[in-house]
Amino acid sequence: MAVGKKEENMAVEIVKPRIDKRDYRRIVLQNNLEILFISDPETDKCAASMNVCVGAFSDPEGLEGLAHFLEHMLFYASEKYPVEDSYSKYITENGGSTNAFTSSEDTNYYFEVNADGFEEALDRFAQFFIKPLMSADATTREIKAVDSEHQKNLLSDPWRMNQLQKHLSAENYPYHKFSTGSWDTLEVRPKERGIDTRQELLKFYSKNYSANLMHLVVYSKDSLDKVEQLVRGKFQDIRNIDRNQIHFTGVPCTTEHLQILVRAVPIKQGHKLKIIWPITPGIHHYKEGPCRYLGHLIGHEGEGSLFYVLKKLGWATSLSAGESDWTNEFSFFKVAIDLTDAGQDHFEDIMGLLFKYIHLLQQAGASKRIFEEHYPPEDWLVASSLPSKFNSSVIQSFLNELNPDNVRIFWESTKFKGNTSMTEPWYGTAYSMEKVGGDSIKHWMEHAPSEELHLPAPNVFIPTDLSLKPVFEKTKVPILLRKSPYSRLWYKPDTAFSSPKAYVMIDFSCPYGGHSPEAEVLTEIFTRLLMDYLNEYAYNAQVAGLYYDISKTNSGFQLTLFGYNDKLRVLLEAVVEKIAKFEVKPDRFSVIKELVTKQYQNFKFQQPYQQVMYYCSLLLKDNTWPWNEELEVLPHLKVDDLVKFYPLLLARSFMECYVAGNVEQAEAESMIQLIEDVFFKGPQPISKPLFASQHLTNRVVNLERGVNYFYAAEGLNPNDENSALVHYIQVHQDDFMLNVKLQLFALIAKQPAFHQLRSVEQLGYITVLMQRSDSGVHGVQFIVQSTAKDPKYIDSRVELFMKMFESKLYEMTSDEFKNNVNALIDMKLEKHKNLREESRFYWREISDGILKFDRRDREIDALKQLTQKELTDFFDEYIKVGVPRKKALSVRVYGSSHSSQFQAHKNEQMEPNAVQIEEIFSFRRSRPLYSSFKGGFGHVRLTFFDQNIDGKNIFGPNYKRKTFLFLSHNLRTF
């Protein structure tokens, strides 16, 4: 079907919330490019996103991944801006970020940037779609990047299982394809057939990138008239060949691909069920929202729900439901269930219960009461103007599609290993398949447990009072509102967002919670059980936009509540009561212990870059337990261990509290008084205040100046070919001027490092330079994951890059220096987007004990005073290769492709000023520690005692327990 000429002057009323002060406008350029403008005079950053209606489904036969590869290539250079990677460099230097993704039928490119740099950024961005340069050299290099991305995914269960679902679909339908691409599909196989991949790339771009298939959104500070004039001039030159939008008619699953039961072997420990139905795409009925309604009910976790019954029987630990993998032509409705070991043995019962619940929904019909309760929380304030309407017949028609004749069942378990007969070709997933008819499912339903399934009761947590509380003292930062021997309360009313929401954080500091691996694991199980016990009651609160979490921390556990403030006190009281009256239910203890055990066992399947970051944290952070010790104690823990442990955990504690948002001072104080009364008051208090000696500290290893430390380990998964490196440079403890020098260096070096190590040298898809902060100790780290090169080689390239970067830093013009300083100032001036973001910023100051709530203003002042010479002097003193004050640590994980180099490198003679760390804990014990900002009532840092003699702290480490972190970072993904 051809895409007709869009009417440029057609009036379109864009529905928006009543509190939305932004202006919107839709236009269509002469080249048929459709654009949405958003004007927001109060924004700190501007942004743009271009969607091209062509994706992986359009890959030519035998060139799998070509659309994704093209997405990569457009970032390199253009005829107007021919310097390679100058677009990304410009975005980074102007305080922004950029990325892209390729889906089935679309490719999307986007960026955000400081307002002052927006016009040029937009011009550079427009050249992606006007005259990009795709050089032969860059083409070859970027195929390696695509392959590195594929190598990263090979041992990822989500990628593997998604491709298996695609594999078991109609071969003549594009859903069946492998879409990300690899060296094999983009280099080896095309060459064997005499095909030039670059020529095919140019042909694909020329054929498919047409203005009439594009949609642009521009978000700016300027008025609509001004931004429209700006955009018209930059995007009107995109060519329009009136390309027909491709519609992939038909369906991906024919009769042979339905009524199947697939048993697949995952990488990680555990058992999962995915029950999938091809359905009518929900986008065809977006006003009625049938998939959202069904996902809400089938995925419900309250009393009477499917999950409630499965959990009660001890068969499942999580359940989710909703639409997935949809296009305009087809869609799937998916129910995903994480099974326990017992649940694995009750597959037929679980399937029977699922279909019984669906049958219940079909018999009950669509409920207007439930539909009206289930506006998305973010839309409650504008519900009357939303394009949503209750239509029972539409919902019923979707329900009828969830039938036994239409089902696809994917059952994942490591127990199937050795009992499969087939292999998926792209990822090597072992699987077997059999047909399962409607009669079998009917039999499962008839013999399923006779548990009572029913629709959810009315939701008592839906807020009824959305009024805003008066703010008499418009404080810009948190104030210490209240303190006692039991707690300290920081308070910050909402002065920026005019939202009926609150954010409450209560940190229970419990010295006994982490004094051993056993205590660490028991605290984890304790917090998981609390969440487990509260689930049926508090799930409705989450549906109603009031979220809560109880999680283990470095020094005890933490309670977080966030959302509409109207019913927050009700939820808080319920949670506090559950903590105070905690009991160990043996059946739930077994389930949670099993779940925690599997998560520890699966640690070895983390990506190598995550492993090196874990080792780096273990090396630097005082009194942390390794994951394998905690895994070792897990099998021996019994119910009685937790019964005895719980009173000890809470025997002495201190609460650090933060209350922010639409809450008055008296309300905030009342909340904390409530908790104090429950835990610390009465004839037999649950808890007592901490002794002065028990306040816990955050201590970080102080690396020796002039020494390069190295730690090497083999990858935990012998089947993972990827290796990884963290090259960490430790600089200083929190100081405003040193902070901004480090931040400015990282801003200037980030994109050149990415370009050199990733784009030019193709060391690995994951290549990052980023700042690192450990309890106020700041540094910078390079993170690289690679199959191409071993970690020692990568380390040498990082050092070579640093030498190359020296000249760029020294030769930087004064204008370039000022531009970078201004970009960093603009980033610091960026306002918090919402209450949660603001609260997390302030909570970090509280949890680290630094309490510099005016940090951004003070660092801006420091930046304004900073000279270019001071920056280069900082580099020469702390960062430059070989300087006497530099403190460096390289952590190397060797994948299976570099196992031979591991032993060879371990046995090599070390260079002068290099130290090989043989054992982590001996190393930690041998080094002095930085002083702690945190650790005493009032958070007073006694700088008188923060003395070093010959680089060694005169006081030994305080006994403070910190857990290892499963770290994740925002890594560039294109």
**Of 89, 95, 122, 46, which Cα lies nearest the Cα of 751?**
89
Q: How far apart are CA 685 and CA 650, in angstroms?
A: 10
**Of 739, 744, 794, which Cα lies nearest the Cα of 764?**
794
Q: How far apart are CA 147 and CA 69, in angstroms?
A: 10
* Residue given tokens 């089902």 in the structure block: 407
Which of 142, 228, 630, 761 is flagged as catalytic?
142
Q: Helix or strand or coil: residue 241?
A: coil
**Of 338, 301, 336, 348, which Cα lies nearest the Cα of 317?**
338
Output DSSP code: residue 98. E
Q: What is the largest CA-CA distance in the chain?
A: 86
**Of 66, 59, 86, which Cα lies nearest the Cα of 75?**
86
Q: What are phi and psi of 606, to 5 degrees?
A: -65, 155
Residue type, 733: Q
Q: Hey, what are 716's tokens?
A: 């935990």
Q: How far apart are CA 605 and CA 156, in angstroms?
A: 9
Tell me whether residue 702 is exposed, middle or buried, using C-beta atoms within 10 angstroms of its C-beta: 0 to 12, 13 to 18, 19 or more.
buried
Q: Does 761 qualify as catalytic in the annotation? A: no
Q: How far apart are CA 915 and CA 471, in angstroms?
A: 57
CB 675 within 8 A of CB 576: yes
Q: What are phi and psi of 871, to 5 degrees?
A: -70, -45
Q: What are phi and psi of 334, to 5 degrees?
A: -125, 135
Question: ∠ CA 148-152-158 to the nearest 5 degrees?
Answer: 140
Q: Does 142 qualify as catalytic in the annotation? A: yes
Q: Helix or strand or coil: residue 182?
A: coil
* Residue given tokens 């104080």 in the structure block: 669
Tell me whether residue 398 is exposed, middle or buried, using C-beta atoms within 10 angstroms of its C-beta: 0 to 12, 13 to 18, 19 or more.
buried
In this structure, the chain runs to a length of 974
Q: What are phi and psi of 661, to 5 degrees?
A: 105, -145
**Of 652, 644, 630, which Cα lies nearest the Cα of 511?**
652
Q: How far apart are the first and last CA of the chain?
A: 31
Neighbouring residues of 242: CB distance < 8 A, sequence distance ≥ 6: 2, 3, 32, 210, 212
Q: Where are the beta strands (DSSP E) in 787-918?
A: 887-894, 914-916
Element holding 617 (H helix, E strand): helix 608-620
Q: Are strands 77-78 and 487-493 parallel, antiparallel or unpaired?
A: unpaired
Which of 71, 520, 630, 721 is flagged as catalytic?
71
Q: Where are the beta strands (DSSP E) in 2-56?
A: 23-28, 34-39, 45-52
Tell me which residues are annotated as active site: 71, 142
